[in-house]
Amino acid sequence: MKFPGSKLLHYWDLSVQALSLDDLLRSCQQAGLTGFAEIKLPDAVAMIFYYVGGEVNALYREGPVAFSGQAALERLRMQAERREGQVSVYELPIDMAHLLRGITNRQKLKENPKNRADLVELLYRMEKAEHTGTLEIQKPSGAAMLLLVRGRLSNTYWETSAGSTYEQREARMRLDDALDAPGEAQVHLSDFSRDVWKSRHEVQDSIRSRLQPRDPGATPAEQLVTEETTLRNQVLEELCAQLPAVAQAFLFDLMTGSVLARRGGRGAGVRGGLLADKVPGFTLYLRDLASADDDDEIEIIEVSTGKMAVMVAVVPEVQEAIALMCEKSQPTALLGANLARAVRAYAERLAPIRPATEVPS
């Protein structure tokens, strides 16, 4: 596997420097790695994917036999005492890491695109199949990684053989030029498994003061998760305080629809709760429809019934969204203004907490 935009952080030659699997896992966890560790053995290869320091997936291949998830880690552990091979640790762009958390069933395609027209046809088939996963294309001049979400092309990365990395339209243009040039392309398609995905779960913990001492035994990844959870709950508490008619306020992940935090004022009843449960899925659906039109993006969604008003605002910097469900007694103009301020404040306050991932050029 080659991931354009990856940044080599560490390299070990096991014949020179011994490294146990536990040491490798601990090192990646403590660094809060978002990326992957690649282990090359004489007769096998393995990859362990990380998201802010947590192992979220693993792949192991020995000849024609492949394993993923916990089974891959167990097979790798059986080989851990060997003193030959190489270990490389890479950092990844955050949006690529999102999909790689759930990558599985990687297989080489028999029909390789021979030019840019063939790629358009292949992507059309992926769109019709609503495929979610990755499409890897390797040519002598470089390698591309295309991220697909329910058939929609989410992003494209291209890395030249000299190591320069491009994304979005520039990457697609260079990929098209490479496909039209002589040389056979190697293409691999991977699925995205929601079972393998290690979801972030909704957290109902009370707000912790920033003055409270941190747990000295906590890893950087655990501290990061705690601080993000605290911030999410603070943002929702502030919204509920500013808007007395709020029945529910919640924040959810735009990749999975998982609710990350929820706060409520006065209850909205059973029907209101059922409506709230549909908001994440409805938002993801509308977001895909908008992006199909020249990569347009959803910013605000507003839905009104006779008694309730629902408003959703996207936080593009972190691929999350904030949703409010209010009684109609609350003017929608006031609702939208407060929600827009909350989105800006959340993105600004989250920036110092979440480590930035740079794409080498």
Per-residue pLDDT at 356: 41
Residue 144 lies in a domain: yes
Residue 208 lies in a domain: no
Residues 234, 184 within the same domain: no
Residue 175 lies in a domain: yes
Residues 6+ apart with CB under 8 A from 146: 123, 134, 135, 136, 137, 153, 155, 156, 157
Per-residue pLDDT at 122: 93
Per-residue pLDDT at 201: 35
pLDDT tens, position by position, 135-146: 999 998 998 988
Indicate the residue among 69, 88, 104 that finishes a domain.
104
Comparing 340 with 256, the larger pLDDT belongs to 340
pLDDT tens, position by position, 219-239: 454 566 677 888 888 889 888
Per-residue pLDDT at 70: 79
| 347: its two tokens | 């993105």
| 267: its two tokens | 């209850």
Per-residue pLDDT at 202: 35
What's the pTM? Answer: 0.48
Indicate the residue among 79, 104, 129 that finishes a domain.
104
Residue 195 lies in a domain: no
Residues 117, 83 within the same domain: no
Domain residues for the domain of 254 are 220-350
Per-residue pLDDT at 82: 64
Per-residue pLDDT at 44: 87
Residue 199 lies in a domain: no
pLDDT greater than 60 at residue 359: no
| 274: its two tokens | 């059922």
Residue 244 lies in a domain: yes
* Domain CATH number, residue 331: 3.30.450.30
Residue 252 lies in a domain: yes
Comparing 40 with 254, the larger pLDDT belongs to 40
Residues 227, 336 within the same domain: yes
pLDDT tens, position by position, 118-133: 999 999 999 898 888 8
Distances (CA, A) of 294 to 5, 28, 266, 320: 24, 38, 41, 21
Q: How far apart are CA 158 and CA 168, in angstroms?
A: 9
Are 39 and 76 in contact by the 8 Å Cβ rule? The answer is yes
Residues 162, 237 within the same domain: no
Residues 241, 283 within the same domain: yes
Residues 237, 180 within the same domain: no
Residues 96, 112 within the same domain: no
**With the C-alpha atoms ordered 116, 122, 124, 127, is the resulting torsion angle positive or negative?**
negative
Q: How far apart are CA 328 and CA 281, in angstroms?
A: 23
Residue 331 lies in a domain: yes
Per-residue pLDDT at 194: 58
Distances (CA, A) of 105 to 38, 57, 65, 121, 139: 17, 12, 12, 22, 22
pLDDT greater than 80 at residue 80: no
pLDDT tens, position by position, 27-69: 888 777 888 899 998 888 888 888 777 777 788 888 777 787 7
Q: Return the percentage of the chain with pLDDT > 70, whole number.
A: 78
Per-residue pLDDT at 361: 32
Show the DSSP H helices in the chain as ranges. Answer: 21-30, 70-78, 94-100, 116-128, 168-180, 220-242, 269-291, 332-350
Residues 238, 345 within the same domain: yes
What is the count of structural domains for the chain?
3
Confidence of residue 22 (pLDDT cuts 50, 70, 90): confident
Residues 272, 289 within the same domain: yes
pLDDT greater than 50 at residue 312: yes
Rounded mean pLDDT of the chain? 77
Per-residue pLDDT at 177: 94
Residues 185, 230 within the same domain: no
pLDDT tens, position by position, 162-221: 878 888 889 899 999 999 999 889 898 988 765 554 443 333 333 232 223 344 444 454
Indicate the residue among 104, 121, 156 that finishes a domain.
104
Residues 173, 63 within the same domain: no
Are 95 and 154 in contact by the 8 Å Cβ rule? The answer is yes
Work out the end-to-end distance of the chain between its first and last CA atoms, rounded to an integer number of angstroms.
20
Residues 66, 109 within the same domain: no
